[in-house]
Amino acid sequence: MSTETPRRTRFRFGAGKATRSRAVAGLTALLLPLAAMVGLASPAEAATSATATYLKKSDWGSGFEGQWTVKNTGTTSLSSWTIEWDFPSGTAVGSAWDATVTSSGTHWTAKNLGWNGTVAPGASISFGFNGTGSGAPAGCKLNGASCDGGSVPGDNAPSAPGTPTASAVTDTSAKLSWSAATDDHGIKNYDVLRDGAVVATVTGLTYTNTGLTAGTDYSYTVKARDTADQTGPVSGAVKVHTTGGGGTDPGPGGDKINLGYFTDWGVYGRNYHVKNLDTSGSAAKITHINYAFGNVQGGKCTIGDSYADYDMVYTADKSVDGVADTWDQPLRGSFNQLRKLKAKYPHIKVLWSFGGWTWSGGFGQAAQNPAAFAQSCYDLVEDPRWADVFDGIDIDWEYPNACGLTCDTSGPAALKNITTALRTKFGSSNLVTAAITADGSEGGKIDLADYAGAAQSLNWYNVMTYDFFGAWAAKGPTAPHSPLTSYSGIPQAGFNSADAIAKLKAKGVPASKLLLGIGFYGRGWTGVTQAAPGGTATGAAPGTYEAGIEDYKVLKNSCPATGTIAGTAYAHCGTNWWSYDTPATIQSKMAWANSQGLGGAFFWEFSGDTANGELVSAMDNGLN
């Protein structure tokens, strides 16, 4: 992707997020008859000589790209291969390449072509397909045997062990215990995985991991192996934080929170990656990252952009630790880069944010069954592939029982019901937060939902105190999009940070659970002759990615600030008029947040800052 479509363009305390199209199968893709049948080929090798693994390479909502990889783990060449699997009803292959794929009902069979059936020892061959639906393959067989190189057909793989529990946690060790898996022929042993990698194989139901680092987060899972050496699915993950290390988790009541949003689409046109948080110096000055966004579909949390999230291959020069990804590593993309960033900066906590302006429409259905929604979110956030990356969940519902891109009629209690269910499922050891409206007007959005009740289950609110005014009102009047306070001539009463915070406090939300929002961008009009706020305009000012909006790093040079009003800066250059925050106005806003007893501040989003992170530095200096 060489260009960007902004996906969180704020509009009246909200975020817009357009979807991106993907290129799918090439000219070699083969359209397949869904009911065609083939007979099974005879096994080309012994059952333990090859494995087959599946990867969903990308997901664009209405479909996905899947890939199977056959690896020869034996000592002699494979002469042919056949993979079989079952998809649930509603999931199907539409076109494939580098294999002949046929089906009988929900059972699918893929066979090598004439040129790629031979696989040398240690070598691999892959084929891909475009699919519809959202299901995952099950019952995989390679040449009639288990796809994990296990036993003969008819011998079932073991079940998943119970989710491990941790005890006797010290600076350098932790004891893990789990309940037994089951198998039709018996369990041989268990693999213990730390952060996705096997660290031990044991025959019992406990293991003590030593040699750990003090004050560090780890994630553990377990999988069983039966007497035929088939391995089953991994268990649920348990997070362990070793003692010592001289640090505690920043949060309300402790050190001030300095949280930034990182967008999955920023890795495309903006060429902004997790490594930039390190090279800019920002990683050392923040406490939390919200990764945006996961989607909300069918009442469930779902992946937002699988390629950017966990499949994009990073070269050494763009990797946090300078190590390039390999084709067969279990996790790539921004998730793996976040894992590396956390290893370098152990104080950082990462939350996965779901929703946003475009993807908030799914919350209405989620509110109909909050427990099922919470379960889906937990299953996704705690997926063993990346459970150690995330320390909790953030929901960005724009807006409960009110109108954003669409209008919601779930009722005043819907937000509380969802946050209660999330807290129940995620437990006390995970962070659960929400981004919310800053509409402090009489009868406005804050009055339409039970924000005080919902706050009881949350660690904090990210109050979106920006985008109060902008060029959606094409003729003006010009006004700062992030005023800290009201001022004479403000276009709408209650549209400022101080009124929003005051209303939330009055409703019973503790000040320590409120974070002040900062935009790392400006909003502007063109056709403006008046330098002071309140002038008329002819439309939105030109922007790099979207009219009416521009990054701070651009505006500081292209249209330097010419004045301040209500605690934020504005600039008039030529016929363009912009408002945005500068290091000076941010420091004054942080001082105000401290005086109000707020838990800290957050910002949207990292890529709008300068290469040396001057806005993040201003927030850090102002909060501490």
User: Which pLDDT score, from 0 to 100, does residue 155 have?
Assistant: 66
d(CA 274, CA 290): 12
User: Structure tokens of 449?
Assistant: 């939902």
Q: Where are the domains of the chain?
A: 30-146, 165-241, 257-519+582-623
- Residue 398 falls in the annotated catalytic set: yes
**Cα 76 to chain center, whole Å?**
42
User: Which pLDDT score, from 0 to 100, does residue 423 have?
Assistant: 96
Using 50, 70 and 90 to split pLDDT, how confident is the model at 252? very low
Residues 6+ away with beta carbon under 8 Å from 488: none
Q: Do domains 30-146 and 165-241 have the same CATH topology?
A: yes
Task: List C-alpha distances in Å: 57 to 30, 90, 112, 181, 385.
Answer: 18, 19, 20, 30, 14
Per-residue pLDDT of 282-314, as tens digits, reads 999 999 999 999 999 999 999 999 999 999 999
User: Which pLDDT score, from 0 to 100, does residue 42 have?
Assistant: 31
User: Structure tokens of 1?
Assistant: 């992707």
Q: Count helices and strands (H / E) in the chain.
A: 12, 32
| Res 89 pLDDT > 70 | yes
Using 50, 70 and 90 to split pLDDT, how confident is the model at 22? very low
Contacts 24+ apart (CB under 8 A), 528-531: 528/476, 528/478, 528/572, 528/575, 528/576, 528/577, 529/575, 530/478, 530/572, 530/577, 531/562, 531/563, 531/572, 531/577
CB 207 within 8 A of CB 193: no
User: Which pLDDT score, from 0 to 100, does residue 245 have?
Assistant: 60
User: Which pLDDT score, from 0 to 100, does residue 267 have?
Assistant: 96
| Res 264 pLDDT > 50 | yes
Question: Average pLDDT over the chain, rounded to whole?
Answer: 87
d(CA 391, CA 164): 18
Residues β-bridged to residue 540:
525
User: Which pLDDT score, from 0 to 100, does residue 9 have?
Assistant: 36
Alpha-carbon dihedral angle through residues 58, 314, 329, 221, given to the nearest 10 degrees: -80
* Domain 257-519+582-623: CATH superfamily, name plus number: Glycosidases (3.20.20.80)
| Res 16 pLDDT > 70 | no
Q: What percent of the chain has pLDDT over 70?
A: 89
What is residue 362's DSSP assignment? G
User: Which pLDDT score, from 0 to 100, does residue 527 have?
Assistant: 98
CB 226 within 8 A of CB 151: yes
Beta-strand relationship, 288-297 and 349-355: parallel
User: Which pLDDT score, from 0 to 100, does residue 43 have?
Assistant: 31
Per-residue pLDDT of 110-141, as tens digits, reads 999 988 888 888 888 999 998 888 778 888 88
Residues β-bridged to residue 569:
564, 580
| Res 333 pLDDT > 50 | yes
Range scoring the smallest mean pLDDT among 27-31, 58-62, 498-502? 27-31
Using 50, 70 and 90 to split pLDDT, how confident is the model at 230? confident
Does domain 165-241 fall under CATH 2.60.40.10? My reply is: yes
- Which CATH number is associated with domain 30-146? 2.60.40.290
User: Structure tokens of 372?
Assistant: 């099922």
pTM here is 0.66
Q: Catalytic residue among 4, 84, 398, 550, which?
A: 398
User: Structure tokens of 66?
Assistant: 């899947």
Using 50, 70 and 90 to split pLDDT, how confident is the model at 273? very high
What is residue 10's DSSP assignment? -
